[in-house]
């Protein structure tokens, strides 16, 4: 069988969740499948790791200036269609094989439209609706995302297959580097994009109120992540609390992992997550987790996190204090996180995806 994969996302220089998913899926499909032939479609020159894939993986570079997916990839599907096409994100080309599989990661724009500009919101809504309707099978990365697809786009439940992301623990083992300058000795960590949907503003407010009420706490709040939509007011809030809040921007993986391992607590205050990969990263680093009790976060963290209502500052403060002031609770969460992490692997993700592609 010839399986085509839109691989341009996996070729991104700086990878976030979706790009990392695409790369890990390709790498692990290569480890478990020597039978099927794969064609990886790229818009730009491949990174080195593409060239180290087995012989049954072919890279096809197809430069094109605009609307690469809808025009250039559509043309390729018309003249040289694979038997199966996998799209690791929601943008399905107009022309595609009958057997096409699309992964949908989240529907954040449905819940928080104000955090997207109008053109991005329109495209995400259109492309996801088109993919949900036309794809033979839709992969959702969580049960929460599956429910959203059924709710917002009327997708039949039996058309959606839930396949969780995996996690490669060797990344943290091999890429722990030096700590960045300016890092406080004791801190809690926010590890995500700076945008309103991720609720960094709520975390800053809860943290500063907690510090004011508990002057004995030496911890600072360290925030790591690139700038996202509508970050201006968030940066202003960080500046206004510079005595207790440190923003390190985006860090290389090695430094990012070192910071995560040193943190006393990783807090994910997001209002909505399609999956919540940073939860697994904290589990692997041996760092306790406090996270919101909404969308996919409980599905990923299970019993291994301290939960709070991200809309309620008192709830956020209570959860943080419960871990910071109780070393036994922190140890309990770390142990539970290590056990929980064993349920998520890229090998499992790739195997379940391969079963969808070949069924």
- Model confidence over 261-311: pLDDT tens digits? 999 999 999 999 989 899 999 999 999 999 999 999 999 999 999 999 999
Q: What is the pLDDT of residue 177?
A: 67
Residues 175-190 have a mean pLDDT of 85
Rg of the Cα trace of the chain? 21
For residue range 64-78, list pLDDT tens digits in order. 999 999 999 999 999
The predicted-structure confidence for 96-113, as pLDDT tens digits, reads as follows 999 999 999 999 999 988
The overall average pLDDT reported for the chain is 93
Contact 274, 192 (CB under 8 A): no
- Rounded-to-integer distance, Cα 332 and Cα 58, Å: 47
Instruction: Please state the rounded mean pLDDT for residues 140-166.
Output: 95
Predicted model pTM: 0.88
Element (H, E) at 60: strand 57-61
**Domains defined for the chain, CATH in brackets:** 2-166+344-358 (3.40.50.2000), 170-341 (3.40.50.2000)
Contacts (Cβ under 8 Å, ≥6 apart) of 218:
185, 186
């Amino acid at each position: 069988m010839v399986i085509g994969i839109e691989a341009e996302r996996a070729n991104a220089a700086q990878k976030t969740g979706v790009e990392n998913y695409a790369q890990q899926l390709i790498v692990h499909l290569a480890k478990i499948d020597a039978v099927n032939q794969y064609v990886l479609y790229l818009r730009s020159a491949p990174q080195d790791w593409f060239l180290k894939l087995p012989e049954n993986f072919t890279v096809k570079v197809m430069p094109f200036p605009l609307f690469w997916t809808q025009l250039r990839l559509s043309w390729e599907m018309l003249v040289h269609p694979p038997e199966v096409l996998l799209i690791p994100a929601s943008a399905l080309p107009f022309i595609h094989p009958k057997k096409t599989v699309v992964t949908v990661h989240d529907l954040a724009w449905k819940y928080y439209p104000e955090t997207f500009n109008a053109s991005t919101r329109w495209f995400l809504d259109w492309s996801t609706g088109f993919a949900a309707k036309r794809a033979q099978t839709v992969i959702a990365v969580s049960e929460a995302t599956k429910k959203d697809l059924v709710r917002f786009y009327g997708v039949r439940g039996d058309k959606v297959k839930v396949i969780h992301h995996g996690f490669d623990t060797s990344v943290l083992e091999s890429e722990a580097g030096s700590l960045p300058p300016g890092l406080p000795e004791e801190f809690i960590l926010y590890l995500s994009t700076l945008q309103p949907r991720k609720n960094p503003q709520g975390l800053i407010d809860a943290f500063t109120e907690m510090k004011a009420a508990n002057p004995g706490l030496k911890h600072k709040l360290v925030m790591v992540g690139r700038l996202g939509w509508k970050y201006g007011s968030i940066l202003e809030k960080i500046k206004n609390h510079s005595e207790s809040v440190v923003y390190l921007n985006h860090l290389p993986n090695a430094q990012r992992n070192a910071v995560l391992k040193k943190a006393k607590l990783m807090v994910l205050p997001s209002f909505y997550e399609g999956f919540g990969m940073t939860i697994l990263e904290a589990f692997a680093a041996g760092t306790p987790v406090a996270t919101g009790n909404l969308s996919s976060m409980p599905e990923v963290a299970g019993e291994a996190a301290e939960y709070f209502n991200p809309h309620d500052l008192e709830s956020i403060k209570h959860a943080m204090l419960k871990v910071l002031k109780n070393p036994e609770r922190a140890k309990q969460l770390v142990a539970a996180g290590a056990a929980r992490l064993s349920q998520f692997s890229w090998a499992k993700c790739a195997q379940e995806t391969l079963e969808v592609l070949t069924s």
